[in-house]
Structure 1
Amino acid sequence: MEGAVPGKAGWVRVAYWPAESTEADALKTPIKQVEAGTDFTHQVALRDLRPDTRYRYRFEAGQPGNDTVAATAYGSFKTAPDAAASAKVTFTVANCQDYARRDDPANGHKIYPQMGALHPDFFIHTGDLEYYDKPSPLATTVALARFKWNRIFALPFQRAFHREISNYFMKDDHDTLKDDAWMGQVYGELTWDQGLALFREQVPIGEKPYRTIRWGKHVQIWLVEGREFRSPNDMPDGPEKSIWGAEQKKWFYETVKNSDATFRVLISPTPIEGPDRDTKGDNHSNKAFAHEGAELRQFIASQKNMVIVCGDRHWQYASVDPETGLREYSAGPSSDAHASGFSEADRSAPHRFLRIKGGFLSVTVEPSASGARAIFRHYDVDGKIQYEDVLTAP
């Protein structure tokens, strides 16, 4: 099929070293064999890394039974500053991409070189990295789902960006199973459990799908999980209905309360605030999850300098909740061809910015004379700023 990138059995290893050192000083991970059962993938944890350091790495691969290195690839990543370090931090956020709607047929999505030009410290993809339930082909089996993963990550723009940036990946419905999916459903021959396993196979996420990461004195992010623990969308709303589940929600409340970061940013695969379409019933801004949505908005709004960045919606927006004053920024889809589902006629009082086009979001938090400030910028697919919002903290 077009774009196929079949894997091959063999061995892999990673060598890594601080960028200011030489390649001769590299540490090496143990050799690991890869095979078809894991789509020829392997994940390795690099520990005891220095804070606020650019690392270079060399990926090595070889054939079974042969120690000779047959292929290499180079890249880099940056580690987070210590929690006490008053450092400037920039990160970018994108969501909702697929092969069919890429805007450069030969190279992939144009947002990737535009984000790379900003030299972000890290990148977050909020989910829908691919669409199992969109044609060419419909990924109704494990083999077809793997085909889609390999095809989109082999695109030159994506490949060049990801190998030089620290990445955090989150999942949503289309890269788990299908539109608005929840536990126990199937898509063709693809089961729910297979969908969860495929995501863990293809991208590193750690022990739990929800995480919080500190990036210096002024930034802490929360990456939450919106599929694995959710109640069915058609369940009657009330205190027991949840997208996050009790354990994740308890973790979120506790870690937020214990944080002393200047700015705290919740990264959600789906909107918490919206506004969204009245016909939708899959996220916290919808009536279907009104009880938990109101609970979360009240809690987040009660925290000092805390905002929401979300994915899923196929348009860009910045909104302020009229009841709580809470801010939410939607990154928007990864190409203009992917933009849909909303219009200027749907603009309402909460909107501070609304654009039915593709692009990405950047967040820069930097020390200032009075404390720190956070700058949220929406970009179009060509890297032009469309909106800017500046928040200050004493």
Structure 2
Amino acid sequence: MTVADIRHAVPGTTGQVRVAYRKASADQWRTTPWQDVDPQRDFTRQILLDHLQPHCQYSLRVECRQGPEGPPGQTLEGRFRTAPAATQAARVVFTVSTGQGYGSQDRPDGYNIYPEMLKLDPSFFVHTGDIVYYDRLAKTIELARYHWQRTYSLPTNVEFHRQVASYFIKDDHDTWQNDCWPTMRRDNMFQFTFQQGLAVFREQVPMGPRTYRTYRWGKDLQIWLVEGRDFRSPNTDPDGPNKTIWGAEQKAWFMRTVQQSDATFRILISPTPMVGPDRASKADNHANKAFAWEGLQLRRFIGSQKNMFVLCGDRHWQYVSVDPETGVWEFSCGPVSNKHAGGWKQSNFVAEYHRYLNVIGGFLSVTIDRIEGVPTAIFRHHDVRGQVRHEERIAAARR
């Protein structure tokens, strides 16, 4: 018996792929060359699309074949939207999610949040991590890939991602195991290693040279997506100025690029919390005592910037918090479904921090728009049926 024989497996096969794409208003397709899928990378192939125009809707078509002499295979059609130019004031809507356990599906074909997010016609989507959960079953690299195969063959996921450009961040469960770091030594993952987890993530999601990156979406928005696993110190080390989650190079890059940005709103999207509050027993993020030194350093920096906010994943509940010391706002998007919600008591509203608390599944949407000429950020927490449970509307302060 092999992994391909397990229920819900979607094994790859040899062949070639290419992508045709065009502006939605155009007649002519631009087509990439045929390329072989890589059997060493789960039969995947990442293809770079060039000559894209800003602030445009594109149609695309993914084609496959067995080989140069082989018959054509399936065709998948989709669409995506490109970012407005940095000088262009334009409305941008994006959605954010976390905590996508396979056993947490809440409809026969996947997850309710995906069709609900599609109704908002988002410009892009960000998954903040825990995209899959390796801990119990991924004891080999083949079983790790199986987790991605079964999750991204779910109809709700396929239908959403063929229509919305997406960014992916990894956290602990989709790197290796709970609260992991590079030098961790444990036997419970059998043959599957931390380094293999890093490689699988890069083969399964679109990614450039680094897993920390920043993107400009018009005059009024720039986002930062950060890496929280590759460079971290052991959670068990004593806290202090040399203990880190981000690593010195990423931290310097973040501070430098934030200060260089002239976007009206600057938003950090983190796989783990920066503000919290979190459970006292946790020791894995910047809201915990285990990383208090770097957490305070980053909150002070973010708090010194005008119109800067933090969005985070990881926590299995929704919240809006404001750090009482630095004034940093944090929005926790909440998990993919109500089945996945938990880890915090609904009654534990911490008035010193919380503006909103809800132990439910759903997603976060963010709208950047100009209302009566004023750049405005609108943060909305939605439940799994798309209903808005909380809204924060923040007009930009002058910079």
Instruction: Report the TM range for the smaller structure's normalisation.
Output: over 0.9
Percent of paired sites with the same residue: 53
Instruction: Output the CA distance in 2 between the equivalents of 1:324 and 1:39.
Output: 45
Q: 1:297: Cα distance to partner? A: 0.4
1:387 maps to which of 382, 385, 390: 390
Q: How does 1:247-326 map to 2 (within 5 A)?
A: 247-326=249-328
Partner of 2:87: 84
- Offset at 1:335? 0.5
TM-superposed CA distance for 1:35, in Å, is 4.2
Return the alpha-carbon distance in structure 1 between the equivalents of residues 21 and 91 of structure 2.
Answer: 25
Instruction: Name which of structure 1's ranges 59-68 and 315-324 shifts more when overlaid on structure 2.
Output: 59-68
> What letter corresponds to residue 332 of structure 2 in structure 1?
S
Tell me if the contact between 2:127 and 2:169 (Cα under 8 Å) persists in the aligned partners: yes
Tell me the CA shift for residue 344 of structure 1.
Answer: 2.2
Equivalences for 1:359-374 in 2 at 5 Å? 359-374=362-377
Give the secondary structure class of the aligned counterpart of 1:14: strand
Q: CA deviation at 1:370?
A: 4.5
2:345 is the alignment partner of 1:346: no
Partners in 1 of 2:70 and 2:14 — Cα distance?
A: 14
- Between the aligned partners of 2:263 and 2:310, the Cα distance in structure 1 is 15
Alignment of 1:1-394 (within 5 A): 1-22=6-27, 25-104=28-107, 106-134=108-136, 138-185=137-184, 187-349=189-351, 350-394=353-397
User: CA shift at 1:67, angstroms?
Assistant: 4.9
Post-superposition offset of 1:345: 3.3
Contact 1:370–1:393, Cα closer than 8 Å, also in 2: no
**Distance in structure 1 (CA, Å) of the matches to 2:259 and 2:371:** 24
Q: Which deviates the most, 363-372 or 246-255?
A: 363-372
- Provide the residue aligned with 2:3 in structure 1: none
Report the RMSD for the aligned CA atoms in angstroms. 1.0
8 A Cα contact 1:8 1:35, kept in partner: no
Which secondary structure state, in structure 2, belongs to the residue aligned with residue 344 of structure 1?
A: coil
For residue 282 of structure 1, what is the amino acid of its counterpart?
A: D
* Residues 41-80 of structure 1: per-residue CA shift (max 9 Å, x gap): 0001112210001111110001134254221110011110
Structure 1 spans left out of the alignment, 5+ residues: none
In the alignment, the residues of structure 1 paired with residue 373 and residue 90 of structure 2 have an alpha-carbon distance, to the nearest angstrom, of 15
**TM-score, normalising length: structure 1:** 0.97
User: If the length of structure 2 is used for normalisation, what is the TM-score?
Assistant: 0.96
The separation in 2 between residues aligned to 1:95 and 1:66, in whole angstroms, is: 43
Q: Deviations along 1:360-382, whole A, 9 cap, x unmatched? A: 00000101224211000000001
- AA partner of residue 190 (structure 1): F
CA contact (8 A) 1:141 1:190 kept: yes
TM-superposed deviation, 1:177: 0.2
SS in 2 for 1:3: coil
Q: Distance in 1 between matches of 2:129 and 2:81?
A: 22
CA contact (8 A) 2:38 2:45 kept: no
Task: Give how far 1:327 is off.
Answer: 0.5
Letter in 2 for 1:268: S
**Counterpart residue identity of residue 235, structure 2:** N
